[in-house]
A and B are shown apart, each in its own frame.
Chain A
Amino acid sequence: AQSVAQPEDQVNVAEGNPLTVKCTYSVSGNPYLFWYVQYPNRGLQFLLKYITGDNLVKGSYGFEAEFNKSQTSFHLKKPSALVSDSALYFCAVRDMGGTYKYIFGTGTRLKVLA
């Protein structure tokens, strides 16, 4: 069955330090992978996606993510965190060999400390 796991409910990082938010997935076919961010009292905003090609994809606000097929992971990264990056982050997978619907993880709350 199609699924996404975000093992950390919350990640704390000091401003200026690199950050990683973890995501692993399970699909029956080729995955389309996405990261979304939700700021307080706002809708979800698209950050980046992996469809095919280079395993390292770059997105909005300096974020990037690395697709690792053997580990079925798609971790979100940023070299230097900002306080304004504090938000709720969701990983999502679309199973292009199955149902085609988007399945989201449970979310990881990122807190960047000044």
Chain B
Amino acid sequence: GAGVSQSPSNKVTEKGKDVELRCDPISGHTALYWYRQSLGQGLEFLIYFQGNSAPDKSGLPSDRFSAERTGGSVSTLTIQRTQQEDSAVYLCASSLENSPLHFGNGTRLTVT
């Protein structure tokens, strides 16, 4: 069956540009998470959507980062005015309530 799909798989952008990263979760999964994995680092929590509840945005590193989830399915993570320190792999995961997370393969973002 289809897993979590992320696009693009790789994105190179110039400093100062905006980028949008897309996540298609597994159909029917109510929870959706975004994480950031920097080289040599662990997974940094960014944002968590659960059903129709207000998202937990406590991990977003600055107001340049935002995310939305439309219709309880697809999610878009937007980074405005990208900086070099935003370079990382951005991982999306989805799950049913109280079940393990299923991860996508990530989007590798490089800011030049």
Contact = CB atoms under 8 A, between A and B. Distances in A.
A99 interface: yes
Which of under 10, 10 to 19, 20 to 34, or 35 or more describes the interface residues of B?
A: 20 to 34
Contacts of B91: 43-44
Interface in B73-98: 91, 93, 98
Interface string A62-90: 00000000000000000000000000001
B12 interface: no
A106 B41 CA distance: 6
Interface residues of A, number: 22
Given A46-B100, A46-B102, A106 B56 contact: no
A103 B45 contact: yes
Interface string A27-47: 000001010100000111110
B103 A100 contact: no
Contacts of B45: 101-104
Contacts of A45: 103
A30 B1 CA distance: 32
Contact of A43 (B48, B56, B106): B106
Interface of B: 4, 33, 35, 41-43, 45, 48, 50, 56, 58-59, 91, 93, 98, 100-106
Interface of A: 6, 32, 34, 36, 42-46, 49, 51, 90, 92, 99-107
12 contacts: A32-B98, A36-B101, A42-B105, A43-B103, A44-B103, A45-B103, A51-B98, A100-B50, A102-B45, A104-B43, A105-B42, A106-B42
